[in-house]
Every structure is written in C-alpha cells, then in structure tokens.
Chains A and B, each alone.
Chain A
Amino acid sequence: GEDVEQSLFLSVREGDSSVINCTYTDSSSTYLYWYKQEPGAGLQLLTYIFSNMDMKQDQRLTVLLNKKDKHLSLRIADTQTGDSAIYFCAESFNTDKLIFGTGTRLQVFP
C-alpha cells in the first residue's frame, strides 16, 4: 500500500544543519519530492529526485535517497529563521498523482 511517514516536529538552532526524514512503503515510486509550506500559504516545490538517483544537491539543500530502506531525507545547511515552515515529502508512481506525508514542522530558534 501507499504510505509516507514523517516526524511531526523538528527544532534547530540558527546556523545548524537540519535533517528532515521521510519513509515510504511503495518501492515502485518513480519520483520523490520535497515541498515547503510557509504559514498561510500553499506548498512550494523545493526539489525532487528521480528514484534511480542516490543524492541531489541544490545550494543549501541536499536530498539523500536510500531505496533499499525506502528512506528519503532533506538536509538544510546553515538553517535560517526563514526556513521555519512545514516540509512535506511526497512520492509519485507512473502517474502524476502524488502521495504526501503528514509534514514536518521545522522551527528555527536564534
């Protein structure tokens, strides 16, 4: 079945790295995504990774994919207060339908 799990909260100090984790159950997923939602706003696509990749880096963001363990992570280097938001991971299969996790609320404190 399709299920995507995330921890609900993460709190980090400004300047530290944040690591947000996600596990999924369906190994046939083709793309995996990270979205960011700021308060009162819709979701913004941060990055995505194709299922045959292990890692993708984009400026302060690093996505790691472990297909064997069905584990996806998002690392944010040098976390800033503007990174405070809810982060959703999502997976898709051979359609454009996405399955979302419950979201991780990242709180950055000074």
Chain B
Amino acid sequence: DVKVTQSSRYLVKRTGEKVFLECVQDMDHENMFWYRQDPGLGLRLIYFSYDVKMKEKGDIPEGYSVSREKKERFSLILESASTNQTSMYLCASTALKRGYTFGSGTRLTVV
C-alpha cells in the first residue's frame, strides 16, 4: 500500500516560532500537496510540487513556504507561526490521475 507519513499527529507551538511540518511518501510519486482543513471551509491548497526542487503556490500560500529537496519528502514551513494558522494540515501525494493518498494529518495549535 502507498503510504504517506506525516511526522507529527499533534503539535503545539508559540506565536512567532518557525515550524516545520514533514511529509514522506514511499511510492515514488512525483506530485505532492499540502492542504489545511478548517471547519466549514473544507480543504484549501497551500502549496504543491510536481518535482524535486519545484513548487507552486496554491490558493492560500501566504505565511507558508515549502521545500522539496528529495522526491519522497515535502516539507511545509511556517516562518513565523500565528494563531490563525491553528489548523489541521494534510499532506497528499499522487502519480497518475487516480486521486490522492493522504497522510493522517497534523493538528497544529499556535498559542
């Protein structure tokens, strides 16, 4: 089975901290995505990547950056965490047009 692993299930960080959310997939997928999920808003795309060292902005990239140094790893970075970034963060990967495989999510709380 394809596996997408997010390094943390729960994180609590302080306002202003730099936060790294890690995502690793083991199926050699080219495409990887970061979403945030908020009640009533569904999933909103933050950033995505179609290849190593390549990144594209999604719908809500402000306050975030990403890194894809290796094909299997896609990191989401909050340069200076703020309380409005408290959310559930979901990573996904895919190859071919068969839908995404999602990680279990990281619930981030910024205090």
Contact surface of A with B, Cβ cutoff 8 Å: 8, 30-31, 33, 35, 40-45, 48, 88, 90, 92, 96-98, 100-103
Contact surface of B with A, Cβ cutoff 8 Å: 4, 31, 33, 35, 40-43, 45, 48, 50, 90, 92, 94-105
Asked if B40 and A102 make an inter-chain contact with CB atoms under 8 angstroms apart, the answer reads: yes
How many Cβ-Cβ contacts under 8 Å join chain A to chain B? 54
Interface pairs (27), CB distance under 8 Å? A8-B40, A31-B99, A33-B99, A35-B99, A35-B102, A40-B104, A42-B4, A42-B92, A42-B104, A42-B105, A43-B43, A43-B90, A44-B102, A45-B98, A45-B101, A48-B98, A88-B42, A88-B43, A92-B97, A96-B95, A96-B96, A97-B48, A98-B33, A100-B43, A102-B40, A102-B41, A102-B42
Cβ contacts under 8 Å, B101 to chain A: 45
Contacting residue for B45 out of A31, A40, A97, A101, CB 8 A: A97
A41, B99: Cα distance in complex, Å: 17
Contacting residue for B42 out of A31, A45, A100, CB 8 A: A100
Contacting residue for B99 out of A42, A45, A103, CB 8 A: A45
A41, B106: Cα distance in complex, Å: 9
Q: What's the dominant secondary structure at chain A's contact region?
A: strand
Residue of A nearest to B95 (CB): A96
Residue of B nearest to A32 (CB): B99
A17, B47: Cα distance in complex, Å: 37
Cβ contacts under 8 Å, B99 to chain A: 31, 33, 35, 45, 48, 90, 98
Apart from A42-B104, A43-B43, A96-B96: 20 A-B pairs, beta carbons within 8 A: A8-B40, A31-B99, A33-B99, A40-B104, A41-B104, A42-B90, A42-B105, A44-B102, A45-B98, A45-B100, A48-B98, A88-B43, A96-B97, A97-B33, A98-B99, A100-B35, A100-B43, A101-B42, A102-B41, A102-B42
Cβ contacts under 8 Å, B43 to chain A: 43, 88, 100
Asked if B40 and A42 make an inter-chain contact with CB atoms under 8 angstroms apart, the answer reads: no
A96, B40: Cα distance in complex, Å: 24
Q: How far is the CB of A22 from chain B (nearest CB, A)?
A: 11
